[in-house]
Amino acid sequence: MWRHDRRRAGDLTAMHVLIGYAAVSLGFAGALLGVGTSAYSLVTKQPALMRAVRLHVALILVAVVVAVGTMESALLTHDFSVKYVAEHGRIDTPVLFTIATLWGALEGSILLWALILVGYLVVVTWRFRTRTDDPMVGWALLTMLVVTLFFFGLMLGPANPFIEVANPPADGPGLNPLLQNNAFMAFHPPMLYLGYVGFTVPFAFAIAALVTGRVGEGWLVETRRWTVFAWGFLTFGIVLGAWWSYETLGWGGYWAWDPVENASLLPWLTGTAFIHSVMVQERRGMLRVWNLSLICATFALTILGTFLTRSGVIASVHAFSESGIGPLLLGFFAVIVLVTVGLVAWRGDELRSVGKIDSPLSREGAFLANNVVFAAFAFVVLLGTVWPLIIEAINGDRIAVGNPFFDRMTMPIGFVLLFLMAIAPVLPWRKASGELLSDRLMWPAVAGVVAMVLSMVLGAAGLAPVLAFGLAGVAGGSAVRQLVIATKRQGWRGLVGRTNGGMIVHIGVILIAVAFAGSNAYLRQAEFRFDEVGQTAELAGHEFVYRGTDQIVAPDGRVDNQVLIEVDGRIERPALTLFPFAGRTIGTPQTRGSLIDDVQLSVVPTEDASDLVVVRVTVQPLVQWLWIGGMLMAVGTGLALVPGRRRRPTAPTSALPVQRDPDPDPEPVPV
């Protein structure tokens, strides 16, 4: 039977390798033709030629879909003559993780990146199909095609996913066991990629604006929803990653300032600053250089993050093995930075702001302060992430920048951000009077005081946690106040639109901040040694009773050596899971969550052959509110994408002068 299957797999192999590599080559050719045609059309001012680019984009789409479909076919049919399948596939791997193997290693992840990138390219081409004579659209498509060409070039070179194995093995090693121990792995990377790659669109229009000299507010309108869409998926991907880490690794945490975690946080920080900053440019014509720099930096940081993850220069549970694409990614990152800086310098005169900040106590003043703080946050994270690499490159020394550095440096920044979240929603444009501020901040201030008192009544101690609860109360009060006013005026439309959806996102961020402060400040952890059934232990008001052991053999061959622990009357089953095909045993923690606290149990490996069992118990309050806050941020992002009621009819912003309001905007109204 095996010989028959092996012969059939051999027939499929040649087909998989041939079709897959041909599809990648076709995609590269289509991208090259698209770059050449669009560049010639723009340089010679023959916009009619841009229509041909649609055919090239269609060709690229067919190519990437065929390539991804071919790889999934090879994985699902266990075609071990394809090198990628031989190195990462396995016959007994469950179907979900077999499908997810596509993005479980280097070459497949680049293939997924290309698929998502081409998806964005297709949607942009279709969305602007009637504007082929617009140079800004042309330069944006050219920029996206150049990025597409680069990633297809990687797949033709050092990241080729379709290499044939002369002597295929009977079975493969499968994915890293840590990547098969939780279903979040199947969803976390695609969510991140939708965010990472999505920033290509606003970056392309920013480059187009610089090249064409149309550096006003028009390019912002073209990319507003694209940016929010990408930011939302990046946010959701980061939250899922933290959840995966918490549920899978069993170390009692969810964010370790790991270099790969930081690589996803960096573009999120600059992207968040950009989303706030563009409102100032749209409303007052200010911060043009800042906005162009922010969105270009955001895209550049996605490439830097890809380099950190896929070059092998760092050791991380998230990172891939060492590969030859590192220098190419680093070179591409350098090109992006140099091109951006050069174009901004070239357009320096046109980028001068037409407005100015009338008062620090204004909406635009708060947004500017917000941007400075986000930039400082990003700089601290970037410095702590790349400094060890710089030192190693200079003198070969290996150093580590650990959690104490990040915690000490980012905590005050976090407090400032909470403070700005509290006051920004109540500030008017241009200038605020003391009477207006006292009126608008009264109820948020009351909410902050109540939050501080309540936290202390419930056991909060120490300045930092109590201050975090207090600032979160003020910020939450400001956001709720805005939503109440909006819904009174507009009904259900008071929950949609960029401003109101943003307030819901703010509430999600506030929940995460409170959960982060509470779970870290009041974490309790201990290891208990059990050697007799019925033995008990206590921690943080919870009782743990040892009820013995059990062994479960899964259909894919993994063996769960479970420890039965009764927690407050309910049996939990943390385990040490043996993956025979990988020769590894990893912990499978068990978490019992509630809105008040989480109890996580992890079995600690011991070398003692006796009946001794060691269980690590971690009790953390408010952890579930992290995930609730993340879900609320996702909901708020979706609502922000829904058009809100406009203040007045408008023509396309690219055709309008900068709007200046004669009044101080007594209440925020969604735009």
Residues 248 and 347 in one domain: yes
Q: What pLDDT, on the 0 to 100 scale, is given for residue 324?
A: 76
Name residue 496's amino acid: V
Residue 629 inside a domain? The answer is: no
Verify that 164 and 47 share a domain, yes or no.
yes
Domain count, the chain: 3
Indicate whether 160 belongs to any domain. yes
Output the pLDDT for position 626: 94
Question: Would the pLDDT of 328 be above 70?
Answer: yes
Query: Quick check: is 492 in a domain?
Result: no
Per cent of the chain over pLDDT 70 is: 90
For residue 413, count other CB atoms closer than 10 A to its CB: 17
The pLDDT value given to residue 6: 45
- pLDDT (0 to 100) of residue 12: 52
Beta pairing partners, 539: 542
pLDDT, position 422: 87
Residue 669 has a pLDDT of 37
d(C-alpha 529, C-alpha 543), whole Å: 14
Q: How far is CA 505 from CA 376, 477, 479, 491, 501, in A?
A: 22, 14, 9, 19, 6
Mean pLDDT of 497-519: 91
Q: Report pLDDT for 647.
A: 47
Residue 498 domain flag:
no
CA distance 425 to 432: 12
Across residues 134-154, what is the average pLDDT?
96
DSSP letter string, 244-313: HHHHHH-SS-S----HHHHHHHHHHHHHHHHHHHHHHHHHHS--HHHHHHHHHHHHHHHHHHHHHHHSS-
Domain of residue 350, residue span? 179-430
Residues 226 and 304 in one domain: yes
Least confident of 189-198, 201-210, 250-259: 250-259
Convert the pLDDT of each residue in 211-237 to its tens digit.
999 888 788 888 889 999 999 999 999
From the list 625, 246, 656, 663, the residue with the least C-alpha distance to 469 is 625
- Residue 11's pLDDT is what? 52
**239-248, 322-331, 442-451: least confidently modelled range:** 322-331
Range name among 417-421, 614-618, 653-657 with the lowest pLDDT average: 653-657
| Listed residues 141, 157, 175: the one ending a domain | 175
Please report whether residue 13 resides in a domain. yes
Residues 164-178, mean pLDDT to the nearest whole number: 87
State residue 82 phi and psi, 5-degree precision. -85, 120
- Beta strands at 597-604 and 613-621: parallel, antiparallel or unpaired: antiparallel
* pLDDT tens profile 259-269: 888 999 999 99
pLDDT of amino acid 498: 84
Most confident of 249-253, 318-322, 351-355: 249-253
Among 636, 627, 415, which Cα is nearest to 507's? 636
Average pLDDT over residues 488-505: 86
458 part of a folded domain:
no
Q: Are residues 270 and 160 in the same domain?
A: no
What is the per-residue DSSP string for 160-172?
-S-PBPSS--SS-
pLDDT digits over 386-439, tens only? 888 888 778 777 777 778 889 889 999 999 999 998 888 888 777 766 677 777
366 and 332 in a single domain? The answer is yes
Tell me what pLDDT residue 658 has: 40
> Does residue 653 fall inside a structural domain?
no
Mean pLDDT lowest among 145-159, 243-257, 312-326: 312-326
Are 219 and 149 part of one and the same domain?
no
Instruction: For residues 422 and 506, give the distance between their C-alpha atoms in angstroms, rounded to a whole number.
Output: 10
Q: Which of 195-204, 408-417, 455-464, 468-477 has the lowest mean pLDDT?
A: 455-464
CA 184, CA 249: separation in Å to the nearest integer? 12
| The last residue of a domain, from among 430, 448, 464 | 430
| pLDDT band (50, 70, 90) for residue 652 | very low
Q: Higher model confidence: residue 390 or residue 55?
A: 55
Q: Is the pLDDT of residue 2 over 60?
A: no
Do the domain assignments include residue 644?
A: no
Per-residue b or e along 567-586, where b marks 16 or more CB atoms closer than 10 Å to that residue's CB: beeeebbbbbbbbebbeebb
Residues 38 and 2 in one domain: yes
Mean pLDDT (the chain) is 86
Boundary-marking domain end, from 371, 396, 430: 430
Rounded average pLDDT over 128-139:
90
317 with 419, same domain? yes
**pLDDT at residue 73 is higher than 90:** yes
| Structure confidence at residue 636 as a pLDDT band (50, 70, 90) | very high
Same domain? 210 vs 106: no
Beta bridge partners of 586: 577
Contact 268, 238 (CB under 8 A): yes
| 132 compared with 381, residue with greater pLDDT | 381
SS (H, E, C) 414-458: HHHHHHHHHHHHHCCCCCCCHHHHHHHHHHHHHHHHHHHHHHHHC
Question: How far are the Cα atoms of 193, 361, 427, 504 from residue 430, in angstroms, in the given order?
Answer: 38, 8, 9, 25
- 148 and 186, same structural domain? no
Residue 138: the pLDDT is 94
Confidence of residue 360 (pLDDT cuts 50, 70, 90): confident
pLDDT at 629: 95
Confidence band for 132, pLDDT divided at 50, 70 and 90: confident
Q: Are residues 80 and 215 in the same domain?
A: no
Buried-exposed string 603-631: b where 16+ CB fall within 10 A, e elsewhere: bbeeeeeeeebbbbbbbbbbbbbbbbbbe
> For position 7, what pLDDT does the model report?
45
User: Mean pLDDT over residues 343-353, rounded?
Assistant: 84
What confidence category does residue 457 fall into, taking pLDDT thresholds of 50, 70 and 90?
confident
Same domain, 170 and 186: no
